């Protein structure tokens, strides 16, 4: 019989794998005109604030997508 801690640890392992692999993927870079438009829209002071937000969102979105893919593969093919 599996404990609930066992399921939690396997779930967190899959999540960490997703986040680590998201770090290896390149983040988007905008052109100068698009960057200026985004800075004006979100009222940023400089380009560093924009790219900090972009990198954080990129990391979270890719990590969540990869987590879902890895969880599907684990449940479909590995888990008995």
User: Does the global pTM surpass 0.85?
Assistant: no
Q: Rounded to whole angstroms, how far apart are CA atoms 26 and 57? A: 13
Q: Rounded to whole angstroms, how far apart are CA atoms 66 and 80? A: 21
Are 22 and 55 in contact by the 8 Å Cβ rule? The answer is no
How confident is the model at residue 30, as a pLDDT?
87
Please, which residues have CB within 8 angstroms of residue 27's CB and are 6 or more apart in sequence? 54, 55, 58
What is the per-residue pLDDT across 27-39, written as a single tens digit (0 to 9) for each?
788 889 999 999 9
């Amino acid at each position: 019989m599996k404990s609930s801690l066992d399921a939690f640890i396997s779930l967190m392992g899959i999540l960490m794998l997703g986040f680590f692999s998201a770090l290896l993927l390149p983040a988007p870079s905008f052109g100068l005109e698009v960057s200026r438009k985004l800075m004006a829209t979100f009222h940023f002071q400089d380009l560093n604030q924009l790219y900090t937000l972009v990198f954080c969102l990129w990391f979270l979105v890719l990590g969540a997508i990869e987590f879902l893919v890895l969880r599907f593969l684990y449940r479909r093919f590995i888990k008995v």
